[in-house]
Structure 1
Amino acid sequence: MQLLVLGSAAGGGFPQWNCNCRNCAGVRDGSVRATPRTQSSIAVSANGTDWVLFNASPDILTQFKANRALQPGRALRDTGIAGIVLIDAQIDHTTGLFMLREGKPLDVWCTPQVREDLTTGNPIFNVLSHFCTVRWQPVQTTPPSPFIVSGAAGLRFTPVPLSSKAPPYSPHREDPHPGDNIGVLIEDESGHRIFYAPGFGAMAPHLEPFLADADCVLIDGTFWTDDEMIKLGIAPKTSRSIGHLPQSGPGGMIELLTRFPKPRKVLIHINNTNPILDEDSPERAELTRAGIEVSYDGMLIDYQP
C-alpha cells in the first residue's frame, strides 16, 4: 500500500493568501524555516497505478501536476483516480470536485449527512449534474460498514464516526450527527493498516482499537493550542469548539497519541497559524521528542507486501 500526501495544510493553505501571521509572513520573506503546503488531501493505492482520492481540495490541479503517479497516461483522456472518498462536506475538502468536471461521472463515497450538505447547503453535487454528474456511493457508519472502491483492488475502507463539526451551511452544524465527519481505516491485503482522521475533535471509546492497532495514524494537526486563534485576534473560537483537538495541553493530541506505542504518528491538516510549521520552533522540537511527525506535500507512506 502506498499513501501519498497531496496536501497537508488546513483550509487556506500555507501561507494563506491574506494572512500575515508570523508563519505566513516568515515563509514569504525567508525569516521562518518552513515549507509551503496546499490544502489537505491524500491518495491511496495498492499497485501504484489505481488510486483512491480522499477529499478534493481547492488545490487539486496543483496537486495532480506535482504527482505524476496520478496520471498514468493510458489513453487520450485518462486518470489514475478510481474513486473519491469524502470525510466531510467542508469547503476545503470538496471544492476541488468542480475541477474534475471534464471527466466521466464521478464515483463519490460519502455518508448520507455529507451528501445532504452537498445537495442543499452547498449544492456541489447539483451543479456537477450539469457536467459530469456524481454517482453517490453510500458510506455507512452506524455500525461501521467496510467498503471497497471498484477499480482500486487490494484495498478495504472502514468508516468511523468522529466528534467534529459539520460545515457552517449544514443543518447539523450545532446538532451533530454520526457521519457529519468520519475517519477511515485503510487496509491492504497484506494486513497493513492506516487510520486517517484529519478532523478529530475528541477521543471516544469506539476509536481505541483504530488508534491502538494501526501501523500508522494520520491525524488532525490543525492547532497547537485551544485558544490559538483567539490569542492572535483572528477569531473568537477555540480549537475544540470548531471540532479540532489541539496538540498541546491536558487531553491534547500529544497526550493522546503517546498512549499508543504501536503506530507511526503523523499530523495532517495543519493550520497556517500553528507554530509547528516553523521547523526550528520549540513546539516542533516537542513533537519530535514525542515521536510525532508533521506531514508535508509529497510525503509518501509506503508499506510493501
Structure 2
Amino acid sequence: MKIIVLGSSAGGGFPQWNCNCRNCSGVRLGTIKARARTQSSIAVSSNGKDWVLINASPDILTQLRATPALQPARSDRDTGIAAVMLMDAQIDHVTGLLMLREGRPIPLYCTAAVWDDLTLGLPLVHVLSHYCGVQWHVLAPNHTISPVELPGIEDISFTPLMLSSKAPPYSPHREMSQPGDNLGLIIENKKNGKKVFYAPGLGVIEPHVHTAMRAADCLLLDGTFWSADEMIRLGFSNKKAADMGHLPQSGKGGMIEVLDAITGPRKILIHINNTNPILDEDSEERATLTQHGIEVAFDGLEISL
C-alpha cells in the first residue's frame, strides 16, 4: 500500500496568497528555510495505478501535474483517480471536485452530513450535475469498526471514525454539529495488516480515536496550529485553535503530549497552517518536534506500508 501526500498545508496554502506573516514573507523572499505547500490532500493505492483521492483540494490540478502516478495514460482520456473520499465539507477539502468536471461521473464517498452541505450550503453537487455528475456512496461512521472496501481498490480497507468538530462556516447546521461532520480514517493494507490513521482536522482525542491511534503503524494527524492562541496573537483572528476544531501541538494536552504517550507508530503532522512556526525548518518549534520523534509532512511525501 502506498500513500502520497499531495498537499500538506491548511486552507490557503503556503505561502498564503494574501499573507505577509513571518513564514509567508520568509518563504517568498528566501529568508527562512521552508518549503511551499499546497492544500491538504492524500492519495492511496495498492497497485500504483488506481488511487483513492482523500479530500479534493482547490490545488488538485497542480497536485496532479506533480504526481505522474495519478495520470497512468492507459487511454486517450484517463485518470488514476478511481474514487474520491471526503473527511469533511471544508472549502479546502471539497472545491477541487469542480476541477474534475471533464471526466466521468465522480464516485464520491462521504457522510450524509457532508452530502447535505454539498447539496444545500455549497451546492457543488448541483453544479457538477451539469458536467460529469456525482455518484454518492454514503459513509456511515460510528464508534465501532466498520470497514469499507472500494471497487477497483484491491487489498485496502477504509474505516471512517466520527470526530467531534463543527461543520464548515457556510453550513446550515454550523452551530448544530451532526454526526459525520468530520471524520478520521483508518486505512489498512489487508495483505499485511499495516494501518495508517489519517485525521487532518482533529480537535478532541476521544477514547475511540485514541484506540485507533495506538493501533496504527503510521499517524497522519492535524498539524494546523502550534499554539492555542496563535491566530489571536498574530492579529489574524479572534478565535482559538479549539474554536476552529484543531488541537494545537504545544501546551498541556496538546498534540506533542498526546503523541508522547503513544509508542510504536510513525508520527507525522499534516494540514499545517501558514502561521505555524514549524514550517521554518530552523525554528525552535521544529527542533522540538524532532526531539519528540514527530515529522512534518511535505508535498510529495510517500509512505509505503
- Provide structure 1 residue ranges, at least 5 long, that are not aligned to the other structure: none
Q: Which residue number in structure 2 is paired with residue 82 of structure 1?
A: 82
Contact conserved, 2:143 with 2:162, CA < 8 A, in 1?
Answer: no
Q: Which residue number in structure 1 is paired with residue 49 of structure 2?
A: 49
**1:29 corresponds to 2:55:** no
Distance in structure 2 (CA, Å) of the matches to 1:227 and 1:177 = 26
- 1:168-200 Cα distance to aligned partner (Å, 9 max, x none): 111332221220000000001211100000000
Pick from 222, 225, 245: which aligns with 2:224?
A: 222
Task: Tell me the CA shift for residue 143 of structure 1.
Answer: 4.9
Q: Which residue number in structure 2 is paired with residue 112 of structure 1?
A: 112
**1:135 corresponds to 2:144:** no
**Secondary structure at 2:278 match in 1:** helix
Alignment: residue pair count: 303
Task: Tell me the CA shift for residue 208 of structure 1.
Answer: 2.0
Letter matched to residue 158 of structure 1: T
TM-score, normalisation: structure 1: 0.98
Distance in structure 1 (CA, Å) of the matches to 2:210 and 2:283 = 31
Letter matched to residue 195 of structure 2: R
Distance in structure 2 (CA, Å) of the matches to 1:287 and 1:142 = 32
Distance in structure 2 (CA, Å) of the matches to 1:143 and 1:277 = 34
Structure 1: which 4+ aligned runs deviate by more than 2 Å?
142-145
TM-score, normalisation: structure 2: 0.98
- 1:110-151 Cα distance to aligned partner (Å, 9 max, x none): 000000000000011111011111000000113553211111
Moved more, 290-299 or 254-263: 254-263
Q: Which residue number in structure 2 is paired with residue 177 of structure 1?
A: 178
Distance in structure 1 (CA, Å) of the matches to 2:170 and 2:141 = 22
Q: Which residue number in structure 2 is paired with residue 67 of structure 1?
A: 67
Moved more, 234-243 or 144-153: 144-153
Distance in structure 2 (CA, Å) of the matches to 1:246 and 1:173 = 22
Q: Which residue number in structure 2 is paired with residue 102 of structure 1?
A: 102
Q: Which residue number in structure 1 is paired with residue 9 of structure 2?
A: 9
Letter matched to residue 24 of structure 1: C
**Secondary structure at 2:211 match in 1:** helix
Distance in structure 1 (CA, Å) of the matches to 2:177 and 2:70 = 35
Distance in structure 1 (CA, Å) of the matches to 2:283 and 2:76 = 47
Letter matched to residue 3 of structure 2: L
Letter matched to residue 91 of structure 2: I
**Secondary structure at 1:119 match in 2:** helix
**Secondary structure at 1:120 match in 2:** helix
Contact conserved, 2:143 with 2:208, CA < 8 A, in 1?
Answer: no
Task: Tell me the CA shift for residue 258 of structure 1.
Answer: 1.0
